[in-house]
Amino acid sequence: MKRTAWFGFAILLMPLQILPQTKPSPSPAANGAQQRFVCNTGYTLEECRAHIALLKVALAKYPATDLGDWTWVLVRSADWKAILLPRGLDPDSPAFTFYPKRETFIEEALVTQVPGRGRELLLKWNMSINELLDVAIGHELGHALCNDKDERNANQVGQLLRDGKALSCGNLQATTHTRQKASSR
């Protein structure tokens, strides 16, 4: 769930603008902000709607609306590795966030059974797909809510969110700063 090497990112988003099934499905927030849900290429409209419904259920227990305007993008597992590898991202990471565009990308295998890929993720992460979806959402929200690229901090925030605890990004950033100072000595 690492965020690095974003060159050529516009290539990934082009299919989102071409296909009719990628029209946003807004979820109004109290402050007027919208959570948008789209599917990348390869989805039928029916599959897209069904998978988005599952993602929305998983997101419901999190403060995703605190992000303001945000887009959640579902990507077919068949396309996932080809998107991550050229960007230097771990192909076994089932989600990533691109904060400048306010987007989080979620692999299809987290919301539906994908033969072979579900097993790969199970072996890599040593948890069920439902648990992995929960961890991935919390982790990516950790990056997005705190605008923090640090993987440890995102893990901490994700755990706090999963535990239903209040989060303080300021404390996490201080921890990162302290670690950076200590490692430079």
The answer to whether 37 and 52 have CB atoms below 8 angstroms apart is yes
Q: How far apart are CA 68 and CA 43, in angstroms?
A: 26
Q: How far apart are CA 164 and CA 153, in angstroms?
A: 16
The answer to whether 50 and 69 have CB atoms below 8 angstroms apart is no
CA angle 166, 73, 136 (to 5 degrees): 40
> According to the model, what pLDDT value does residue 171 have?
60
- The structure tokens 């579900």 sit at 118
> According to the model, what pLDDT value does residue 172 have?
61
Q: How many CA atoms lie within 13 A of 148 on its CB side?
A: 24
- The structure tokens 């990533």 sit at 96
The pTM (predicted TM-score) of the whole model is: 0.76
* CATH number of this structure's domain 9-183, picked from the four choices 3.40.390, 3.40.50, 3.30.2420, 1.10.357: 3.40.390
The answer to whether 107 and 135 have CB atoms below 8 angstroms apart is no
**Would you give per-residue pLDDT tens digits along the chain (185 residues)?**
544 433 333 333 333 333 333 434 444 444 566 999 999 999 999 999 999 999 999 999 999 989 999 999 999 999 999 999 999 999 999 999 998 899 999 999 999 999 999 999 999 999 999 999 999 999 999 999 998 889 999 999 999 999 988 777 876 644 443 333 333 33
Number of other residues whose CB lies within 10 A of the CB of residue 18? 8
> According to the model, what pLDDT value does residue 31 have?
54
